[in-house]
Structure 1
């Protein structure tokens, strides 16, 4: 596609092999960008390349976001391949499947906390640390995948909710620290039909949120959000990422999170207390 909002941009997307990460990668490509996609599953990354209309604008890096050396390598390879880095999308994450505190043993809590925070929070920070020098050179931006759980409770259990609140604070702090050269913003997504997995420490690494969506039938009650009939297709969540990446469209915006959650913020309380059954 010629003449898109990201024509001539170079981006690096973590967790880009599936779900919202892949949808953002495909949207960036459609908007004219060159994209490095980083993920742990080499087969998924190969499929991203095969599906691209112009594979020459796609580079893949097999890596875990907890590995700082590999993140630095991904940034270096992006600059070598595409000449620069304009946008970092920090996106890789895991969900705790709303495992409440009362359903977590002490050992589970200890190990799951370390895993979830090392991916969801530390992974974002390590990627930003690897990328900021090149983003300063390009006067680029960071776009973080946040969540409705960055603002509201019960979008996950205490571990996921705390991790996403932490990402919101991280986004705001980096927006201050990297200004005026680098803009840092976020997209706070609601529930969508993706291959989002759970933590391996809770034996949920093989469970995909997409399986839950697959079980829905015509008789399944709609989600309790104002736009309860809104799309759950990750591709329909990608517009804000393009807007925030494009300096020509959002140059004065930093430290801001765009909520794409079906209107959770105007819903009110679904129930008064979460622990009535205790």
Structure 2
């Protein structure tokens, strides 16, 4: 049997980027995978690229009704072994010096809802099924959860909050459900930084390994945490996958 053969996994926010890479890694490892994706276009692309081998629930990954439907679809008749949360939004390096009060409030509420509340709602929807399976949960943080890099204060503070969620949720759901996180560093993209320096080159230059991670580079950490054979006694931990940012 393949590494995750026979296991069922739900990925919330799995239509693009790191979430998509994790979902594909789970699928390739033999798991039955269900993905929640807000964008119909991204959902259609993922469906086509996987020849329909995974199930997709289209909707907002921060809406309780969508998450309940996704858990039911993923659980099926065999149960739910693992939940991965990848919903998130970037703040564009927003500074409170440059935002008026209304924009600050709106941006902060959106950052909290999509980066933090979405994970809490997903965990709330899935924990009974995960408890029954003695399963696991992986949240997606960022190196911004450890230092002021890769975003502004709103994005960074939301990711810092997720560090607390990992710690507290690991205690709250113990001993039945393992809770961990992955904190990716800057990841390859095609856009350019405002100063004209290629973003990928800038990221690579700031890492000890002199490399820019791709979404697929982070997937191994998700596989490790979802696999009870390799992480049976791992909970309350965050794996940094940032190339040794400095």
What TM-score does the superposition give when structure 1 sets the normalisation length?
0.83
SS, match of residue 142 in structure 1:
strand
Give the drift of 1:224: 4.3
Q: Deviations over 1:149-176 (max 9, x none)?
A: 1111132111001100001101111100
Aligned position for 1:31: 29
Q: Which runs of 5+ in 2 are unaligned?
A: none
Aligned position for 1:225: 206
Select 1:66's aligned residue among 51, 62, 65.
62
Give the drift of 1:75: 0.2
Residues 6, 246 of structure 1: 8 Å contact kept: yes
Aligned position for 1:270: none
Query: How many residue pairs end up in the alignment?
Result: 244
Deviation beyond 6 Å, 4+ runs, structure 1: none
SS, match of residue 76 in structure 1:
helix
Change (3 A) 1:51 1:251: same
Change (3 A) 1:172 1:77: same
Change (3 A) 1:70 1:223: same
Aligned position for 2:43: 45
Give the drift of 1:9: 1.1
Aligned position for 1:200: none
Aligned position for 1:161: 156
Q: Which runs of 5+ in 1 are unaligned?
A: 195-209, 268-278
Aligned position for 2:86: 91
SS, match of residue 97 in structure 2:
helix
Residues 11, 85 of structure 2: 8 Å contact kept: yes
Cα root mean square deviation, aligned: 2.0
Matched, 1:262 2:243: yes
Cα distance in 2 for residues equivalent to 1:219 and 1:12:
30
What TM-score does the superposition give when structure 2 sets the normalisation length?
0.93
Change (3 A) 1:91 1:219: closer
